[in-house]
């Protein structure tokens, strides 16, 4: 089977890219011929991606729709696997081709003009579908422009509606969680056309004992942007009286503000900002960690960082935001804290620091629970979905052993 992956970026960036890379590696082992169509590079891990995909094609600024049609006409593809992409002209050319399109919805950008699904000022989670409310009073039409120059940009509600309608024409949508599925249904998508398949959490088994070290090390891994709540994490850490160290690995536009807050709270000798680390180089931190902290205030579509820590036998403490509650069971594999309750967050972290046997018990349960996200099993769900769709397009009927529609991969 020849598949064209389509994504905004080439190379490592966040959780979406981690999952894309793992899926591509496993599909490649099954003999799939994979190409990648992308909009821009990241400068991170690009050489690995170029080896992973047989062909990598950058969408040009001029006439992207024409470029896409020519690529599809010459590529001999069986299926298009569409991920995040901001170029509507390119999306329209993909959807209007004669090829089946499966869209992977990694986050909220499909149906939220701000893309993070919460109020910018209060950070309260939004529960509305895309509508005129996004323009007034939400004012989501005014967005931030990264980089130098004028700091604001215009976000078109009309273009967002068009992207939603184009996505409804995809043969199937794939999401990580029941939470995401409900958001799509809220926005008018048919439930039967939405497949739940949790992201791949690692490929190799980890045999490390849960919370193996005696070091009171707290670990955060993820982007440092406002929705990730690193400032709220720091406020929680300032309330902890037990000795600890905290390493924050990641980068983002909120990092300077968080580093200032860290100094103001007197945490600069206990908290280290280590910058971005590739997932392959995090093993030593997982080996030494006692607790994994996840302070997201935005509604995580899934929250891959937490299950990755669980795979290493580390209990997780996180706010109850979005799809996190689907893998973090309070008191079983960590603690699920009420949204934005900094006091409770601090007390749960301190409890695990003071009670190492309890932390180890939760860590072992975490490691056991995460085995349900078996990499081969996850890819098998996608593989059978792709086979079913391609076979249906070529013969008009699904294969006889096709799984039931809307199978859940948990």
Q: Report pLDDT digits (tens) over 167-201.
A: 999 999 999 999 999 999 999 999 999 999 988 77
Tokens of 247: 């390493």
Contact between 294 and 221 under an 8 Å Cβ cutoff? The reply is no
Residue 407 confidence (pLDDT) above 50: no
Dihedral (Cα; 42, 47, 53, 57), 10-degree rounding: 50
Q: Say how far apart CA 56 and CA 37 lie, in whole Å.
A: 6
- pTM score of the predicted model: 0.90
pLDDT band at 210 (very low <50, low <70, confident <90, very high): low
Q: Report pLDDT digits (tens) over 245-275.
A: 999 999 999 999 999 999 999 999 999 999 9
Where are the extended beta strands (E) located within 188-228?
Answer: 194-197, 217-221
Phi, psi of 275 (to 5 degrees): 75, -170
Q: Report pLDDT digits (tens) over 99-138.
A: 999 999 999 999 999 999 998 888 999 999 999 999 999 9
Q: Give me the pLDDT at residue 397, please.
A: 55
- Tell me what the mean pLDDT of segment 83-107 comes to: 96
Residue 147 confidence (pLDDT) above 80: no
Q: Give me the pLDDT at residue 409, please.
A: 38
Which CATH number among 1.10.260.40, 3.40.50.150, 1.20.1050.10, 3.40.50.2000 corresponds to the domain 2-112+157-200+375-409? Answer: 3.40.50.2000
Contact between 48 and 279 under an 8 Å Cβ cutoff? The reply is no
How far apart, in Å, do the first and last CA atoms of the chain sit? 25
Q: Say how far apart CA 317 and CA 295 lie, in whole Å.
A: 8
Q: Give me the pLDDT at residue 213, please.
A: 61
- Alpha carbons within 13 A on the beta-carbon side of 220: 29
Residue 341 confidence (pLDDT) above 60: yes
Tokens of 346: 């601090």
Q: In the chain, where are the structural domains located?
A: 2-112+157-200+375-409, 217-372
Tokens of 161: 């509606």
- Tell me what the mean pLDDT of segment 346-368 comes to: 95
Nearest in space to 78 (alpha carbons), one of 4, 23, 171, 174: 4
Nearest in space to 366 (alpha carbons), one of 340, 321, 331: 331
Task: Enumerate residues 6+ apart whose C-beta is below 8 A from 204.
Answer: none
Same fold: 2-112+157-200+375-409 with 217-372 = yes
Is the Cα dihedral 352, 355, 361, 364 positive or negative?
positive
Q: Give me the pLDDT at residue 406, please.
A: 41
Q: Report pLDDT digits (tens) over 3-47.
A: 999 999 999 777 789 889 999 999 999 999 999 999 999 988 899
Q: Which helix (H) or strand (E) holds 82?
A: strand 79-82
At the top level of CATH, the class of 217-372 is alpha beta
Place of tokens 């999401």: 175
**Mean pLDDT of all residues belonging to the chain:** 91
Q: Say how far apart CA 368 and CA 359 lie, in whole Å.
A: 14
pLDDT band at 151 (very low <50, low <70, confident <90, very high): confident
Q: Which helix (H) or strand (E) holds 46?
A: helix 46-52
The residues that bridge with 275 in the sheet, in sequence order, are 249
């Amino acid at each position: 089977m020849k598949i064209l992956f389509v994504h905004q970026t080439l190379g490592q960036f966040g959780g979406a890219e981690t999952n894309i890379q793992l899926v591509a590696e496993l599909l490649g082992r099954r003999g799939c011929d994979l190409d990648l169509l992308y909009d821009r590079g990241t400068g991170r891990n690009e050489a690995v991606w170029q080896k992973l995909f047989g062909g990598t094609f950058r969408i040009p600024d001029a006439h992207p729709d024409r470029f896409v049609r020519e690529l599809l006409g010459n590529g001999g593809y069986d299926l298009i696997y569409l991920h995040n992409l901001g170029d509507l002209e390119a999306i329209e050319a993909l959807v209007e081709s004669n090829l089946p399109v499966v869209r992977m919805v990694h986050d909220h950008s499909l149906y939220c003009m701000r893309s993070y699904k919460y109020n910018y000022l209060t950070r309260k989670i939004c529960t509305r579908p895309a509508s005129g409310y996004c323009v007034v009073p939400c004012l989501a039409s005014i967005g931030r422009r990264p980089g130098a120059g004028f700091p604001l940009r215009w976000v078109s509600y009309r273009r967002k509606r068009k992207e939603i309608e184009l996505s409804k024409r995809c043969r199937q949508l794939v999401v990580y969680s029941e939470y995401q599925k409900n958001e799509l249904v809220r926005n008018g998508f048919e439930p039967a056309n939405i497949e739940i398949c949790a992201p791949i959490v690692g490929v190799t088994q980890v045999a490390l004992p849960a919370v193996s070290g005696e070091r009171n090390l707290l670990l955060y891994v993820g982007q440092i942007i406002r929705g990730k709540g690193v400032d709220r994490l720091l406020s929680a850490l300032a309330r902890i009286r037990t000795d600890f160290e905290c390493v924050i690995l990641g980068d983002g536009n909120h990092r300077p503000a968080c580093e200032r807050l860290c100094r103001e709270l007197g945490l600069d000798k206990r908290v280290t900002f280590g910058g971005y680390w590739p997932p392959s180089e995090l093993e030593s931190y997982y080996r030494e960690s006692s607790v994994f902290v996840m302070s997201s205030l935005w509604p995580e579509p899934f929250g891959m960082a937490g299950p990755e820590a669980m795979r290493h036998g580390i209990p997780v403490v996180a706010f109850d935001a979005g799809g996190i509650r689907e893998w973090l069971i309070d008191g079983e594999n960590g603690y699920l804290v009420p949204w934005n309750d900094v006091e409770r967050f601090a007390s749960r972290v301190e409890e695990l620091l003071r009670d190492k046997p309890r932390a180890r018990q939760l860590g072992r349960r975490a490691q056991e629970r995460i085995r349900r996200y078996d990499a081969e099993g996850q890819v098998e769900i996608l593989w059978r979905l792709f086979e079913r769709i391609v076979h249906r397009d070529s013969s008009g009927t699904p294969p006889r052993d096709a799984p039931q529609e809307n199978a859940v991969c948990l």
